[in-house]
Amino acid sequence: MKTLIFTNQKGGTGKTTSAVSVAAGLSRRGYKVLLVDTDPQGNATTAAGVVPDESENTTYEILKGTATASDAIKTTAGGYDIIPTDIRQSNANIELSMTKGRNHLIKEALKGIDDRYDFAIIDSPPNLGAITIAGLTAADGVIIALKADYLSLKGVAQLRDTIEIVRRKLNPQLEVVGVLLTFYDSRKNLDSEVAAKAAEGFPGKIFETKIAQAVALAEAPAKGEDIFTYQPNSKAAKQYEAITDEILKRLKTKRK
């Protein structure tokens, strides 16, 4: 199983939308995919059409050690599975900071199910706390969702340093698969300048496909659907289809 984490410590970058869309895109390609929602906002869970109740297991129970990954898995209408989360996860960063072996909790949890999936997609919280570090430790590759503005770009240097620290101390195999530019408008000079700056920080890592701002991407989560289910013929769906193919190419994974 190949594990990818979508991350950016700044919110509003299209991180969760991208994680859900790529999970759905890989599923449409015939791969067995598990989406792991570790963001306390639970937006990936909502976008997948899942609403866990208080009696059901989530990522939080898995990290606490009171449930296994298998106990929490749900199947979505998009064809991929999900380990959901909700507001319970908001306590996890504090609790994990006092837990021995916290950096490896997600990695250990996924070990028990790695023979069931081709891909695990982790949607990280919008910060560089304990959960994100645990996600980076579990991952083979990082995909950075970068909104095409300077405020988003400003924090990428810190994220790059964090990735390097995790690679050096916790997960030597971790690599940056690519930087995905979102809310991108090729007609704007600022967007092109942000793309150029990002390329300086991550040479050779900027995805050729860029995601434009689209009403459909904002509407789909409210319906509990991914972009392919909500508007399969939209420009946004075609862009995420192209991104899925780029990811497979960079991972040197044959399309099914």
- pTM (2 decimals)? 0.94
Per-residue pLDDT band for 236 (boundaries 50, 70, 90) equals very high
CA distance 23 to 19: 6
Q: Which residues pair with 182 in a beta bridge?
A: 147
Q: Average pLDDT for residues 32-58, to the nearest whole number? A: 91
As a whole number, mean pLDDT of residues 237-250 equals: 97
Give residue 115's pLDDT. 94
Q: Which residue has the tokens 């939209």?
A: 234
Confidence of residue 140 (pLDDT cuts 50, 70, 90): very high
Q: What strands, in cross-sheet order, belong to the sheet with 175-182? A: 74-75, 81-83, 33-37, 119-123, 2-7, 141-147, 175-182
How is residue 227 written in tokens? Answer: 């972009």
C-alpha 58/C-alpha 40 separation (Å) is 11
SS (H, E, C) the chain: CEEEEEECCCCCCCHHHHHHHHHHHHHHCCCCEEEEECCCCCHHHHHCCCCCCCCCCCHHHHHHCCCCHHHHCEECCCCCEEECCCHHHHHHHHHHCCCCCHHHHHHHHHHCCCCCCCEEEEECCCCCCHHHHHHHHHCCEEEEEEECCHHHHHCHHHHHHHHHHHHHHCCCCCEEEEEEEECCCCCCHHHHHHHHHHHHHCCCCECCCCCCCCHHHHHHHHHCCCHHHHCCCCHHHHHHHHHHHHHHHHCCCCCC
- Predicted local confidence at residue 256, as pLDDT: 61
Q: Is the pLDDT of residue 254 over 70?
A: no
How far is the CA of 216 from the CAs of 12, 23, 167, 227, 237, in angstroms?
Answer: 16, 17, 36, 7, 9
User: Could you tell me which residue, 58 or 52, shows the higher pLDDT?
Assistant: 58
Q: Residue 101's pLDDT is what?
A: 83
More confident residue, 187 or 35: 35
The arithmetic mean of pLDDT across residues 133-154, rounded, is 91
Least confident of 36-40, 156-160, 242-246: 156-160
* 210 neighbors 178 (Cβ within 8 angstroms): no
What is the percentage of the chain residues whose pLDDT exceeds 70?
A: 98
Q: What is the mean pLDDT of residues 169-197?
A: 93
Spell out the domain ranges in the chain.
Answer: 2-250
Mean pLDDT score of the chain, rounded to an integer? 92
CATH number for the segment(s) 2-250? 3.40.50.300
Burial annotation 198-211 (CB, 10 A radius, 16+ → b, else e): beebbeebbbebbb
74-132 pLDDT, tens digit each: 999 889 999 999 888 887 777 777 777 889 999 999 998 999 999 999 999 998 888 99
Measured CA to CA, the distance from residue 121 to residue 4 in angstroms comes to: 5
Mean pLDDT of 195-201: 89
- Rounded CA-CA distance 13/8 in Å is 7
